[in-house]
Amino acid sequence: MKALSTRLAAELRRTGPDRIVLDLDGIGRQHAQLLDELPGVDLRFAMKACPVDDVITYLAARGCGVDAASVPEIAQALRAGVPADRLHYGNTIKSDRDIAAAHRMGITDFATDSVEDVRAIAAHAPGARVFCRVATTGTGALWGLKDKFGCSPEDAVRLLEAARSLGLTPAGLSVHVGSQQMDPDTWHAAVERVAAVMDALSSRGMELDHVNLGGGLPALGYTDRRGVALDPPIDKIFAVLREGMAGLRRVHGEDLRFVMEPGRFLVADQGAVRGRVVRLSTREMPDGVRRHWLYLSCGKFNGLYEMDALQYRLVFPTHGDDVPTVPAVIAGPTCDSDDAYAAEHRLVQVPRELASGDPVWVLSTGAYGISYMTEGFNGVAPLTCTTTGGGR
């Protein structure tokens, strides 16, 4: 399990409640690890995972570009210091207006997965470069991302041929194996799918200049429903990616570039919510079972949106490790029944003597903790954000 950094722990102790803290130095270490494990890969931060100016600026200073999914994200990245030539519009869902606006802002690389989108890019961003997203199964990921995005290998060939005929530059292919992908074999299958498309394109006289391997690299700090670390096979994943890239270069030339769009891997374990206990209570449920419920000041609508699919590690800093505990359902502060782990009765051992107002640290919330928050559902304010490190 990913250990909590000394800097992040110190800031959590120092700061007030109901905020998310991000460790820039920790994000920098994750970025450096990726460059070391995947040398020569062009990294583009998937900013939807953590659209915080300090994070984007910090990564941009280290040469990291941005995978943007909308015109407002492009504008934010440019303001944060990311050069336009290190930005791409990675969303295959774009209106005519958004394509034109991105093109005016200097964006030249666009993702696509349909002929309608290719025609729109040709009309509103003439001469642009396009890379086609090829669908994957998403097997092994918490979020497979397998239906809404991507096209078949056969369609990918047709789309890039259409792009060439419309005056666009067929520049690359992309895949995304799903978010929090735990299965190295799925990465291997995605690379094989890309290789098949590239072979088909080569037979038609079309050579691409890059392959975008997408995101999906897993964070290390989540637990299963029993509180046991998930232990993603990250070393095996890196080995599979290195092998796949080497194989593609052997066939299609050493000049073939590779892009990756890390999001969760960079920021998830480098962020934590400093919340507070609202109440630890006990109620008899309709099935006759008496359960403990731990209500926190943060929940699904302000920082813990992904609680349906994963379990965060909780730390209670004012209570020791050896205190008596009780199994409790964890829930947020709103009156929405979805704001809880209760649907599947995922129980977490928590100190029995917790009192209203006690601090709680919710770890590994750096990814999507900020971007999924509501503006104040049920009157519960969004978490504020603090960054630490980065030479401060």
Q: Is 60 exceeded by the pLDDT of residue 198?
A: yes
Residue 2 pLDDT level (bands cut at 50, 70, 90)? low
- The residue count for the chain: 392
Q: What three-state secondary structure class fits 270?
A: helix
Lowest mean pLDDT among 51-55, 178-182, 261-265: 178-182
The fraction of the chain above a pLDDT of 90, given in percent, is: 86
Please name the residues in contact with 173: beta carbons below 8 A apart, sequence gap of 6 or more.
131, 132, 133, 134, 156, 194, 197, 198, 208, 211, 212
Any bridge partners for residue 130, and if so which?
Answer: 110, 170
Domain with CATH 3.20.20.10 in the chain: 24-268
- Arithmetic mean of pLDDT, 132-158: 92
Per-residue model confidence (pLDDT) at position 171: 98
Per the CB < 8 A criterion, the answer to whether 133 and 172 are in contact is no
Per-residue model confidence (pLDDT) at position 223: 81
C-alpha span between 153 and 171 (Å, rounded):
16
Give me the phi and psi of 130, to 5 degrees please. -125, 145
The amino acid occupying position 299 is G
C-alpha span between 364 and 49 (Å, rounded):
12
Domain boundaries 270-388, corresponding CATH code? 2.40.37.10
- Arithmetic mean of pLDDT, 9-18: 94
Any bridge partners for residue 330, and if so which?
Answer: 294
Domain with CATH 2.40.37.10 in the chain: 270-388
- Arithmetic mean of pLDDT, 54-77: 98
C-alpha span between 60 and 65 (Å, rounded):
6
Q: Is 70 exceeded by the pLDDT of residue 342?
A: no
The overall average pLDDT reported for the chain is 94
Name the range with the highest mean pLDDT among 14-18, 229-233, 309-313.
Answer: 14-18
Per the CB < 8 A criterion, the answer to whether 130 and 97 are in contact is no
Per-residue model confidence (pLDDT) at position 343: 52
Q: Is 70 exceeded by the pLDDT of residue 326?
A: yes
Per-residue model confidence (pLDDT) at position 4: 83
User: CA 269, 272, 278, 283: dihedral to nearest 10 degrees?
Assistant: 0
Q: Kindly report, residue by residue over 35-50, the tens digit of the pLDDT.
A: 999 999 999 999 999 9
Cα 112 to its chain centre, rounded Å, is 20
Q: CATH classification of 24-268, choosing from 3.20.20.10, 3.40.50.2300, 3.60.10.10, 3.10.129.10?
A: 3.20.20.10
